[in-house]
Amino acid sequence: MKNIVNETKIIKWIILLPIIGVILTSFILTNIFISSKHQAHDLEIKNLKEKHISNLKEKIKERIEYVSILLNNNYQNQLIESRESVKGMVNIGHTLIENIYKNNKNLSEEKLYKTIDEKMKNIRFFKNDTGYFFIQSLKTGVSISLPANPDLVGTNLSQILDKDGKNLFQKFKQVLNKDKEGYVKWYWNKPNSNKKIQKIGYAKKFEPLDLYIGSAVYLEDVKEKISNTTKKFVKSLIYDDNSYIFIMDTKGTALVHKNESIINIPIHNLDKNIQKNVQKIIDETKFSEGIFLEYLQSKELFKDFSQSKKISYVKRIPILDWIIGTGLYTNDLEKQIKTKHAELEKFLEEDIKTIIFVSSIVTFFIIILLIILSKRIKNLFQFYSQKLEDNNSKLIALNNELEKKVEKQVSNIREKDIILNQQSKLAAMGEMLGNIAHQWRQPLSAISTIASGIRVQKEMGIIIDDKQLDKDLDGIVKSTIILSDTIDDFRNFYSQNKHKNKFGIENTIEQVLNLISANIKNKGIELIFDTQNIELNSYENELIQVILNIMNNAKDALLEIEGKKYIFVKTKKETNTITIQIYDNARGIKENILNRVFEPYFTTKFKSQGTGIGLYMTKNIIESSLNGQIFVENKEFVFKDKEYKGALFTIKLPLS
């Protein structure tokens, strides 16, 4: 009954889950579509904004760069024109002096100088009559004519310095000695001003009297002319977008502005917001000739002004110490964005309606198909459910039968392992009997010698004192104990009892030696030990069999070589493990069979000499009984300054 209820629930879920999945998928896809449309909308608005601002910046920069180029060209042209004007006037003055000289050659030098001064001092030219001629003797440095300061006429001015500390007379003399005429620059105070201003002058030598005539113009006058021309030009500029160009000096005073009420008003007298914007322009243009700035324009600047962000391009004009700029408000951009936003929202609303309608239709048809498909799945499910139940019954029976077979097979394998273990011990029994014979030979010989000695003494009538007799009897007893211990070691080795106990590894190795040391020493094999007294909790008898098997193999291998024969035994304690290494100098195992030495019935000896189960059982005991690992490799080493090679067996066992 419970299975039927579960199957009914599963069938319901088979029908409902696809329908729910389709509805959810439709809902998710619709939302993804709407979201993508919103993203596209935002991206289009962003692109529109970036494009508008880029066009706006390009437009205002182009205007300022145009005015800047025009201003610089105008400055250069005006400078050239002023230089040429000064030169032209000096040439006229030179002609006048030449005429005066021709007409008054009969006069003395003093009277001739006076005549020249009277004729030339009242001549004025340039705007506001600021231009005049100055005449000076090249021979004496005496001033001949100086309308700007007539009191100095007749005075030696050869040592007079300009405002930079340079000797003016020497400057003129240097130019005139080289080319007889030329331009000279120097700094001087403008009349009625303490301001140091550069002058651009031109001088020409009049050789008959060894004098020169010159004139000059203040650079500030040139700049003023350019300034007035530029201001007039900028004011005349009219743009379709209602923008304007403004000019201010580097102190923030407006020189040209659409709002004429702030022109020539110091920055500290302006509205705080205007001050803030002006100061920002001054600071930003200190380190850059041209830069874009964004700021919020002050409401106080214009009447009926709707405050909005302004983007301006400003540029410093070093020749006039000006900052010129222009800008545009972003109101138009906001209007365009609102219009575009409304259009996109309308398109988006229509797209959403379309996708919802389409997705609803598609979802409806898919649901109908799923319902039909679900019914077929239900029938298939019931069919296979019944078939599965029948197969499960067969499988359970098969599993039960298989478990019995496995248990029987495992039992057989265990019995075989025990038999193999015993076979391994029996296979070594002949060799062990030889070992026992070697072990017994010495104590038996000792007993025989003592007994023969007592008999000879008795036959010869020699009285044996009690002390000597006790000593001989003790010798016999000790020898019999050795014989008994050898039998015990032999019996323990062949015992099938398995008891886990604590023991020291050195004691275990000693027990192995008790079994084979006499035989090994008799074969001329030297045992080298490097052991530690490490205690472990395991099956000692099993470990004895393992060490015995490996040492017997080493002994058999050593019998096939000539020269010194060694077996090395090392022990080392590591974290929670003990490592036992046993190796010899019998030249190792051939590499092509090294990985097969632990296979059952595999032997490198003649069939009459080996069974091939010794190392197999060794590996089996270590891994199954002692929970350890064994590895074999060929090792090259140096002992007593001589190189050797042999097979190295490494055993790793847990301490508990």
Q: Using one digit for the tens of pLDDT, what is the confidence trace for 423-473?
A: 655 555 555 555 555 456 556 655 776 677 677 677 777 777 777 677 667
Alpha helices in 104-167 (DSSP H): 109-120
What's residue 55's pLDDT? Answer: 83
Coil, strand, or helix at residue 651? strand
| Rounded CA separation 115/618 (Å) | 142
583: amino acid identity, one letter: Y
Whether residue 185 contacts residue 201, with contact meaning beta carbons closer than 8 Å, is answered with yes
- 248 phi and psi, to 5 degrees? -140, 160
Stretches where the chain sits below pLDDT 70 are: 1-12, 14-15, 19, 298-308, 331-334, 336, 340, 410, 413-414, 416-446, 449-450, 453, 456, 468, 471-472, 474-475, 477-479, 481-498, 601-613
Coil, strand, or helix at residue 62? helix
Two structure tokens written together for 414: 């265990």
Q: What is the pTM of this model?
A: 0.45
| Rounded CA separation 622/468 (Å) | 51
Smallest CA-to-CA distance from 485 within 458, 444, 515 is with 515
What's residue 609's pLDDT? Answer: 44
| Rounded CA separation 381/214 (Å) | 120
What's residue 244's pLDDT? Answer: 84
What's residue 499's pLDDT? Answer: 73
Supply the DSSP string of 331-358, one letter for each residue: HHHHHHHHHHHHHHHHHHHHHHHHHHHH
Dihedral of CA 250/255/256/257: which sign?
A: positive
What end-to-end distance do the CA atoms of the chain give, in Å? Answer: 54
Whether residue 447 contacts residue 479, with contact meaning beta carbons closer than 8 Å, is answered with yes
What's residue 35's pLDDT? Answer: 77
Which residues neighbour 346 within 8 Å (Cβ) at sequence distance 6 or greater?
none
Coil, strand, or helix at residue 395? helix
What's residue 420's pLDDT? Answer: 60
